[in-house]
Amino acid sequence: MAKKKSFPLRIDPELYKLLERWAQDEFRSVNGHIEFLLREAVRNEGRLSKRKEQSDET
């Protein structure tokens, strides 16, 4: 598995609470859910290569 890049994220506390509840509904960590949402946005914009998309799904 590829090593993941870490970085600090400043986020509005109310937005974090919403993300926390949403992540719980999806049985994900907040960090995992943010990554999921970002990946979906990148995929929807056509900026994720098919090769990378397939390797991330395995």
Domain ranges across the chain: 13-57
User: Is residue 58 over pLDDT 60?
Assistant: no
pTM over 0.85: no
For residues 45, 37, 31, 29, the Cα torsion angle rounded to the nearest 10 degrees is -150
- pLDDT for res 55: 62
How far from 47 is each of 1, 16, 37, 53, 55, CA to CA, in Å? 22, 26, 14, 10, 15
Phi first, then psi: what are they for 45, rounded to 5°? -85, 0
Q: What is the pLDDT of residue 19?
A: 98
Per-residue pLDDT of 1-57, as tens digits, reads 678 899 999 999 999 999 999 999 999 999 999 999 999 999 999 998 766 655 666
